[in-house]
Each structure stands twice: as structure tokens, then as C-alpha cells.
Structure 1
């Protein structure tokens, strides 16, 4: 304003124009609609949960009867061909068994998640701190197996469809010795920033102090990390002229 001799009203008008500009006008306006097909379906029936692996688009895998008959009727075949058929038949059986084993592993992991996050699947709220190790111990599998199993997978619940990775979160200690999910802290940060004075946005230190006054033991650097993950800019970039 000082440099160009602008009034505050004129500066606001200029900022509004700049904010409406497209920095990449050559990209066009093509919109690709992506539909999410859940990998798991969790339904509550009474006090129990029914967990289903959504395999509607996956065909039933079985060994071709022609090869099965060749395996059974080996009288007129050469020893080499007999051995090759046996080998391929064994490989096919192993492959089919592996598919079914993977299915059971996925269901076992999903059951463990539902048990650990029962309140969430009952009410749609109250997500608890949960890491891969918790699920691995509950399901009796390796942590890497849990990581692969939940990658890019979705679950359909009575309250909507969720990305499985979003059900995992680190824990934050509270002043009374309790534990809360870091997702709850992120929501608190969003609420605090939404209520701040846009002329004097809060720094990460100030947000951390507010959270500590509410009973959450959290450091400034943790606030900065969560704010960044939420896609919220720093205080300097949040400053607005009313």
C-alpha cells in the first residue's frame, strides 16, 4: 500500500482479482470422476459385526478340467509329459490355495481392525489411536503384511466409506494420563485456526499453547507437522485484510 500509494479498499480489490486467476490456464477443465469400490463391507447386526470381502468383480479361480483329466489319465503319456503335467498341476493348486489364504489373511486383519475400533464402527465416531503393530499383534501376522493389506483399500460401514489407512493414527498423551488419536488433535487445530482473527493469525507456538491449556501434551513442531499435513499454510500466509 505504501509502495504504490493504494488505499486498503483498492488493495482488497486487487487481491480478489489475483486470487481468481488461473496460474495454469493451459490445463483446461477436464474432470475425471473416480468411483470408490469398497474392498470390505462391515455391517452391524445386533451386537455383532458381519465382515465381507467384496469380491463381486473377482471371478472364481479353479483348475481347468481338461488338465485335471490329463493328470488323472496318464496311461498313454510319455514319462516326461507326465512329470510336467504333475508339476504344473501342483503349481496351479498352490496358486489357488495362495489366493484363498490371502483372502483369509485380509479378513483376519479386517476383523482385528473392527475389534480395536469397535466404538467407531458402532457410532461412526470415537476413533482410537491405532498403529500397524496393534493390528499385527491382534491378527497374529507380520507388520509388513498389515501394511500391504490396508494399502489403497476401502471399507464400507454403516456411516460411509473410509480409506483403511485413515483408521490408523498415532497417540497423543493428555494431561490426565489418557490417550487421544492424532486425528482428534488435527480437528482441534482446524477448529482453532477457523476461529482465529484473520488479521492476526495464530503462530504454531500459540496453537500449541492453546492445546496444552486444553489438556493436550503437544509440542510446537508437532503442531507444525499436523498443520502441514492438513494443507493449512503458516500464519504469515494466512494473514488477511478484512
Structure 2
């Protein structure tokens, strides 16, 4: 074997993930809340960066319709040279106006959602009832401890041993106090299982010796699976009686505490994009609240143009100014990408916006990516976790990307449209003779939707609809 050294030239292509590209990708996939958190953090870290808050600029941007796309071609790598054209960089981003946006200042509107009433929690409600009981100081303290161990659904999340050790009292004493607390309102509270919760309610309503109690004690799982014939055979009852008892048990509350759920648990969605119809056309407006606008601080712009800078000042300004400009560029690119994606979706799903759900077409990421000439991963990041407000309602942008089946005309029919048709068929079916999956498939084929029984079963499961054997009424 002969060993020697050679010099060879090889031409290759590879993707280099620069810090700027990485930051742009991260900003693109941020939802509204994450983007605002990121911007607020950068505003604290970088004094050169500031948020645009001018009412005049907000009014001008809100009245401007989106007719063109902003492109940013400034070469940020110029900053690597020794002499930086500061004024050129600042003026470029100062003059570049973002595309059409929709501004909203919550301070200018009186929203009654901002006035939160004083709410009574489940624990407060139980403690109020406890104060009306004639108990000793020790029993009152133990009961208060038990109440503090009730979760938001009203279930007791502690063992008797915990109270026994803490208060040095016998186990039967703790159990008696728990049984006493189970008589409080709402019915079923302080239960330790779903079975106990239902039994408490049945006892309070006078069904402690009825068929309903037997079903909950001995056949709760089978009852949930609607195995009425099997239960009737074991108990020697008719299927009709079992079904009637089942209907009554369904009226009981499996989570007694959820009626006390706090309004503070409500989460409001801030749309990233608004779509409005004007003169027959749909106008796309990127929500400025969800995509904040930034600029270079006026004090530092003045410093750049007037002050003689030494080496340390130049280095400081270079680092922070280029970081600020890259963030501004990434946010503008994010806004531009979201706009282009939503505009392409609206053009493709135009019939949905005009006629409704039944006209939603199958769509995948590749279709939109090819339309706006970007990679599929860019489209995926642009729509992830973002919402669009349109005349049809509020939708997650992902909603418009649907799989589908073939229709009679050869065009695709989206899965949501098929589910809508299936739901109408199931709602109209005879409860004593519910439609099987094969019957649903045959009915859909008759309407021009070519679909298999397996696909029908898949869509039915996604709709949380039981199979025909468990929908049957006797």
C-alpha cells in the first residue's frame, strides 16, 4: 500500500445556521404572547431599541390597506467592517414602513371584561357552611384542614392517616368528620372517587336502595360502555329499566366543584391576523398588538449623528445597534411571512369564506409553500399557534390545512366538511336503529363523497361519537 498526500478541490453545498437566521426562525414561530415577552425582554436589555407608541403613526398604519409586501434588502454584514455607515442603517429602517397592520389600544375602550367581580371559590363556600355547624374547636380545625385538601373538582385529595398524624385523633373520628362534610353543598363534594361521588348524590336524593345504586356500586364500568343487555341478564332486569336508570345517573354531577371555576381561568385569544371583506374582496390585516413595531431610540440616533465616538463607544453602539436592527428586521419578516401565508390561504379557501364549512377544501403545507415560494417548514412555523379572525369566526390558522377525500366532481372534500355531513346524518338517525359506519359510508358515497368505512370510523372517533351499538336506544 502506497501512502501519500494530495490536494483536492471539492465543491459542496451546505446550510450554515448563522445566529441571525436562528433568531429569525425563532421569532417566526413565536405566538403573540411569546413574541411580546421576547420584545419586552429585548427592550430591557438593549437601550437603543424602543416600541413605537405614536397615536398618529398607529392611526396611519391602521388606515393603510395591504396592497404590497415589504422587502428588506439591507446587508447587515456591513457592520463587520471598521467604518459603519450608521446613518444609512438607521434611516433605512426608519423609512421602511411595515405592511398593513391593525392597531388596537385597550386603554381607549371601556371593556367590562376588565372589571373582575369578587368571586367565591369552592373552599370559601365550604368554609362558610362549616361556620354554621356546632362543632368543637378541634373538630372545626380538622374540618378546615380537610376542606383545604379538596381540589377544584370537589374531590378529597388526602388520606385519613394524614389527619390522624397531624391532629393525633383516631381514624374513625376522621372518617366520621368526612362523612359529615359530605352532606354539605354542592352534592357529591368530599368524595374520593367517581363511584363515591355518585353514591353520595343518589343517597341524598333518596335512591340509596334503588337500581341506580346497584348499577353504580357493581356495574359502573359496564354501564359506561353501555353494555345494557349484559347488565340486564346479570341483574334479572329488563334492558329498558337499565337504560332508564342509566339516563338518570347521567343527570348526576361527576365534578361537583366545577360550578365554582374561576373567571380568572378564562384565557382570551388575541388574533394575529384580521380578515375583513370590503367591496367583494378580503383584506388581510396583521394585528399590531400581536406583532409590535419597534424603532431606534431618538436619543441614540442623535448621538450617532453628533457625538464624536471613541473606540469603546463605537463598539458599544455597534453591538447594540446591529442587534436592534436584526430584531426589527426579523419581526418585519415575520409579519410579512404571516401576511403572505394568510393571503394565500384566503385565495385558496375563498369558497369557505363565501359559503361556509361545507366548502372547505383539502390543503397541505406544500401547496401554500409552493404558492409563496418558501419552504414547508417556514409555513409550518408561520401558522403554529397563531389565530385568524374573519367574518366566519375565529380560527386557528392550522384549521385551514385539512386532509380530505375525493368528491364526485374529482375535487377534494375536506375532512371537516365530511364530519359536518356525518354529524347531520347522525343527528337525524332513528335512535332505535342508529346508522352503522358502513351505512354512513354508503350514504356519503350516495351524496358524491367517496369514502371508506375505515375513514368514517376514524372521523367518528375524532368527533367523539360512539359506535352504533352504543348509540342504540331500547
The two structures have a TM-score, normalised by structure 1, of 0.86
Indicate whether 1:136 and 2:397 are aligned. Answer: no
State how far apart, in whole Å, the 1-side matches of 2:382 and 2:312 are. Answer: 40
> Equivalent residue of 2:413, what SS?
strand
Contact 2:271 2:290 in 1 (8 A): no
Which position in structure 1 is the counterpart of 2:418? 185
Which position in structure 2 is the counterpart of 1:65? 298
Contact 2:365 2:379 in 1 (8 A): yes
Indicate whether 1:18 and 2:242 are aligned. Answer: no
Contact 2:334 2:382 in 1 (8 A): no
Return closer, same or farther for 1:142/1:57 CA change in 2, 3 Å cut-off: closer
* 2:343 alignment partner, one of 111, 125, 128: 111
Gaps of 5+ in 1: none
> Equivalent residue of 1:62, what SS?
strand
Contact 1:70 1:85 in 2 (8 A): no
Tell me how far 1:232 sits from its aligned partner: 1.0
> Equivalent residue of 2:245, what SS?
helix
Deviations along 1:35-58, one digit per CA (max 9) or x if unpaired, are 333221112221322211111365
Which position in structure 1 is the counterpart of 2:468? 235
Larger-Rg structure = 2
Return closer, same or farther for 1:87/1:74 CA change in 2, 3 Å cut-off: farther
Structural mapping, 1:195-214, within 5 Å: 195-214=428-447
Which shifted more, 150-159 or 45-54? 150-159
Return closer, same or farther for 1:115/1:58 CA change in 2, 3 Å cut-off: closer
Which position in structure 1 is the counterpart of 2:452? 219
Contact 1:186 1:230 in 2 (8 A): yes
* 1:5 alignment partner, one of 219, 224, 236: 236
Tell me how far 1:175 sits from its aligned partner: 4.3
Indicate whether 1:160 and 2:393 are aligned. Answer: yes
State how far apart, in whole Å, the 2-side matches of 1:212 and 1:158 are. Answer: 31
Return closer, same or farther for 1:113/1:178 CA change in 2, 3 Å cut-off: closer
State how far apart, in whole Å, the 2-side matches of 1:60 and 1:80 are. Answer: 29
Which shifted more, 95-104 or 27-36? 27-36
* 2:352 alignment partner, one of 99, 102, 120: 120
State how far apart, in whole Å, the 2-side matches of 1:40 and 1:58 are. Answer: 10
Return closer, same or farther for 1:62/1:119 CA change in 2, 3 Å cut-off: same
Tell me how far 1:209 sits from its aligned partner: 2.5
Which position in structure 1 is the counterpart of 2:42? none
Return closer, same or farther for 1:205/1:123 CA change in 2, 3 Å cut-off: closer
Return closer, same or farther for 1:232/1:165 CA change in 2, 3 Å cut-off: same
> Equivalent residue of 1:211, what SS?
helix
Which shifted more, 141-150 or 96-105? 141-150
The two structures have a TM-score, normalised by structure 2, of 0.46
> Equivalent residue of 1:172, what SS?
strand
Deviations along 1:31-90, one digit per CA (max 9) or x if unpaired, are 54333332211122213222111113654311223333444455353x244223212211
Give runs of ≥4 in structure 1 deviating > 4 Å. none
Deviations along 1:175-229, one digit per CA (max 9) or x if unpaired, are 4533322222111221222222323333322322222233322112211111111
> Equivalent residue of 1:236, what SS?
helix
> Equivalent residue of 1:2, what SS?
helix
Q: CA RMSD in A?
A: 2.5
Higher RCO (C-alpha 8 Å, min separation 6): 2
Contact 1:71 1:89 in 2 (8 A): no
> Equivalent residue of 2:277, what SS?
strand
> Equivalent residue of 1:20, what SS?
coil
* 1:41 alignment partner, one of 274, 281, 289: 274
